[in-house]
Each structure stands twice: as C-alpha cells, then as structure tokens.
Amino acid sequence: MLQHDTRPRANARSRAVEAPEESAPAADKQTRLGNAALQAQIQTSQPSPAAVSNDELGSWLGDDVELPSKRGPDAPEAATAGGTAPVVDPTAPMRPSKFKRGQKGALIGGTKTLELAEKSDGSGSAGTVNDGVGAEIIAVSGTMLQVQARSGDKNIEGWIDSGKFADEPAINIDEDHPELRDDYGYHRISGDHLPADPKTTDAAQGYLGDCFLVASLAAIANASPQTIKDAITYNESTGTYSVRFYEEKGRNNFTPVQIEVDAYLPGKASSKDDPAYAGDKGGVMWVAIAEKAYAKWKGGYDVIGEGGVMADAMQEISGVKSLSKQPSQMKEDEVIPFFQQCEKDGRAVCAGVRDNSKSDEQTPFSSSGGNTFKGHLKQSHEWNHVDPGTVRITDTQGKAGSARDVGGKDDESGKISGTNVDDGSIIYKGAGHDTIEMTYKDGKGPDNASDLKVQFSYEGVMNVQKLIIGDHAYVFQSVVGGKEIQFYNPWGSYQPKSVTAAEFLDLFDSLSTNLPNKA
C-alpha cells in the first residue's frame, strides 16, 4: 500500500418542477408521477402536467434510477427562449440530482464566502465558510441541506440551499488534524485539460498519498500515450470530462467504466490555479483530471489518499491484467535484462521502495555523572525519522544489559524499557532531534556513556546518494548504458539518480508491469 505524498515535511427532495401557467384539472398522484417519469426518461425540459418532486419521481422510477444532474451556480439547467434544449453553463460545477445524509461533496456558490443558516428555514447564522469548501450532508429538509464543513481550524454545522452543493469527491483528511478535512477548496482551473501529448514527466503528485495512482498513470503514459489519450474525452458544451477506467469482472475480463467530472480542483484560496493534489501551477492538467475521476470512482480523495496497489491501478487504467514480481526473488544478474525486455516489449513498469531501513550503530549518549544518560539520535537526511518501537540500546561491555523503546506508529513519545532501566523516555521529533533519556538502577548502569550502542529503523530517504524515498512508488524510464536503471519520481521533483542492479534489489520490494493495448 504505497501512499507517500510530497510532504516530507438519501433520497432527498430537490426543487419541484414548475407547473405550466395554464390551469388544468389536477391529475391524480399516480398520473402525475407517471407523466413525470416519462419526462425524466426522455430528458426534455418541458414541465410535467403537475409539480412533482425528485423524491416522488425517484420513488416512481425506482431507487436505482438517477435523475439527470443539474449544472449551474444555483441550479438548474435553463430552457432556451424558443426551444427545448437546455442551456448549460460550461464553467459551472456539476450538481447532484439527489441528496442524502452522509453524502460528501463541496459548497460552491461563486462568491468568496458562503453563509450557513442556523435553521432549516434559512434563518439565523451558523457561521461562514470559504467558497469551494468540502462538505458532508447531515440532514435534508425540502430544498435545504444541513451540512458540516471546515471553517478555519474547526468544523461547523449549518443549513444551506441544495443548489450550492456540488458533486465533487470528498477532500482528503488533514493529517495534522484528523477531525478536519484538508484546508483546500474547489476552484475551476481554466482551459481544456485533454492529454494532447501524455508522457511520464507530466506527473506531479501533490499533497495526497496516492503515489501508486500517479505513478501508474505516468507509467502507462510512458508505455502507451494513446491509451491515456483515448481514456479522457472533453465535452466543450458542458465543460466536463469523461474518464474511462476498467473494472475487472471475473478473471481477465475488464469492463469500461466512465466517470464524469468537471474542471474544479482542490487548491488554496490564495492560489486557485495551483492544484493541491496532482498537477502543478501552469502545468499539464490531464493527470489531475484523471486523479479526480479516480477519486470520485473510488469514494473520495480521502480514500485514495490511504494508498493502493500499483498493479491494480495500472490495469484499471489500461484494461489489461498487470503482472507482479518480487525483487527479493530476483538474482542480481537478472535485473538489467528484465528491464531491458520491458523496454523492448513496451511495458509500463512501476516499482515500490521498502518503507524503512536500519540505521548504522550510534553512540550518542553523554552523562553529567550518576545513572542518567541523555542523547540525540542521528539521521542521514533531514526528512528521516525513527520508526517507533524499533530502537534498541545495548551495553557493549554487557553490564547494563539491553533496553528498547515502547512506542507505536504516529506516537510523539514513548518509554524506554529494560531490565536495568529505572526510568526512561524518548521523544520522536525526527530530523535528528529524537531525544532519549534513561536512568539506570543503582549499580546497574554502564561504566561509560560511550559503552551504550543504539540502532533503530527509520523512514524517509532510504538512499541519500541516490535520493530514493521510502514507501514510495517510482516509474521505470530506461536502462542507462546497459548497467543502471533510471526511475522517475511521480512528485515531479527530487528525481533520483540511476541505480545499479544491486541497489535496486536492496531498495525496492515490489514490482508491477502492464502491457497496455497499442493503438
């Protein structure tokens, strides 16, 4: 489950269809529903014989039938003056046709901020949120939605017109504040973001742990640009993109899945044209469009931000079964020929780096006298940090015995435990600032501070010289000089130097290939 990002650092009631101006005998409910159902199925903009809500209409058509999506800042598609063809604003976000509790999306109204009401009738003020903020529906009352959304450093709840709720994938969880969504809003990125000339170097992963996906898109673009070009189509009249993925239905049987998204992407309010996730300011945006569609398909940016499997992602992009190989099962003299054959065959290749490495032995402790010893763990790179629960302390002379840290993933501190340790603690700060302090029982400590040896596992940069990041996906580009392998970092930055076969086997623990269809 590779998930490294670039931070080393219910059926609800919608608006009723308006009744025609001319008065007519009121039809019974069954007739009204039947007529409205026919209208929805043929998707005309002519009003039905009597007002029918989407709730009622959904019941008639069945719960598995979706009504046509609305577009526009507040609503609905409008009819042209003299005809029936709806007018769609291609710059407007997509709007859902149904609403239910737990549904996630965004609040987009075309203003700088949006006001949330205290009550369902729109009265009172519950506070304001930034336009484009991610939101979750808590309750539905007529055309009003009670939502929860981030406002500054907290979540607030309030009511807003359903016409402000946009059909967007859920924003990712803020890793520093798990109770909040990322502080990004949806903003429209101008232009046609079709992949005119897709290539590996278009990839620029952002603040989302989906390297498995971005690397897979880059790998397919490297092996078969036409596959990417065929996967993304643009509808100029609606301003939306249809992105094709493939879902495996039985062994090696892939069925196309079309996901429609608009050109609104998450970003900071201060830099609306700079996507927070995939994509660089002023750069090629097809990767961001594909990422958004994938997030919508899978259930949100928060879902794909938890990581995934490269082999699965590549076959979902290409519609061709991926193959996986374990580097640990390869011999050194097999590595270069394997990648050369992949080049020859036109295979897309992604490789994953192991998630941690073992440090060199250190003697970082000092003592001002007595049984207390203090020290800072050293790291080979500023991004590196201790993997909690892996610190081992031994006395080279055997007097003090051994000790270890008791800590778990994401802990900020832990205890040092050992037979002869009276009290001990560690603070996990990373970047070489992890602090250990131990007090030994009387007569049980080491003779000298330099007798204490420390070793631990760390996460971060696995090879400083080659700039290979741990728990991260890379894209194979080429074999260099018949001796080394060049990979591409899907961040779009911190590009690694080529590695030898021995270095590949030491650093990488997963390998996936895919042979996409050629045009």
**Domain layout of the chain by residue ranges:** 200-318, 325-356+463-514, 358-456
In the prediction, which pLDDT does 46 show? 37
Mean pLDDT of 249-275: 90
Mean pLDDT of 35-61: 38
Segment (H or E) for 502: helix 501-507
In the prediction, which pLDDT does 33 show? 36
C-beta separation of 259 from 297 below 8 A: yes
Task: Quote the mean pLDDT of the chain.
Answer: 86
Number of continuous H segments (helices) and E segments (strands) in the chain: 9, 37
In the prediction, which pLDDT does 84 show? 55
Cα R_g (the chain), whole angstroms: 28
Q: Which residue has the higher pLDDT, 205 or 23?
A: 205
For residue range 376-396, list pLDDT tens digits in order: 999 999 999 999 999 999 999
Task: Report the share of the chain in percent with pLDDT over 90.
Answer: 76
What residues have CB less than 8 Å from 446, skipping those under 6 apart?
Answer: 373, 395, 397, 399, 400, 440, 452
Give, in degrees to the nearest 5, the angle at Cα 69 between 64 and 71: 170
Measured distance CA(488)–CA(71) in Å, rounded? 39
For residue range 299-326, list pLDDT tens digits in order: 999 999 999 999 999 999 999 999 999 9
Whether pLDDT at 519 is above 50: no
Model confidence band, residue 86 (pLDDT cutoffs 50, 70, 90): low
Model confidence band, residue 410 (pLDDT cutoffs 50, 70, 90): confident
In the prediction, which pLDDT does 25 show? 34
66-70, 163-167, 236-240: which is most confident: 163-167
Q: Which two tokens stand for residue 291?
A: 């990422």
| Residue at token pair 């993304």 | 232
Q: Which two tokens stand for residue 43?
A: 């998707």
In the prediction, which pLDDT does 24 show? 34
Measured distance CA(350)–CA(510) in Å, rounded? 8
In the prediction, which pLDDT does 71 show? 52
124, amino acid identity: G
For residue range 434-477, list pLDDT tens digits in order: 999 999 999 999 999 999 999 999 999 999 999 999 999 999 99
Q: Which residue has the higher pLDDT, 143 or 79?
A: 143
In the prediction, which pLDDT does 4 show? 61
Whether pLDDT at 431 is above 50: yes
Q: What is the CB neighbour count within 10 angstroms for residue 364? A: 19
Model confidence band, residue 219 (pLDDT cutoffs 50, 70, 90): very high
CATH class for domain 325-356+463-514?
alpha beta
C-beta separation of 365 from 426 below 8 A: no
Model confidence band, residue 83 (pLDDT cutoffs 50, 70, 90): low
DSSP 483: T
Mean pLDDT of 20-48: 36
In the prediction, which pLDDT does 204 show? 95
Whether pLDDT at 432 is above 90: no
The long-range contacts involving 61-67, CB below 8 angstroms and separated by at least 24 positions, are: 61/37, 63/11, 66/97, 66/98, 67/14, 67/40, 67/97, 67/98
In the prediction, which pLDDT does 281 show? 87
Model confidence band, residue 133 (pLDDT cutoffs 50, 70, 90): very high
Model confidence band, residue 336 (pLDDT cutoffs 50, 70, 90): very high
Whether pLDDT at 417 is above 70: yes
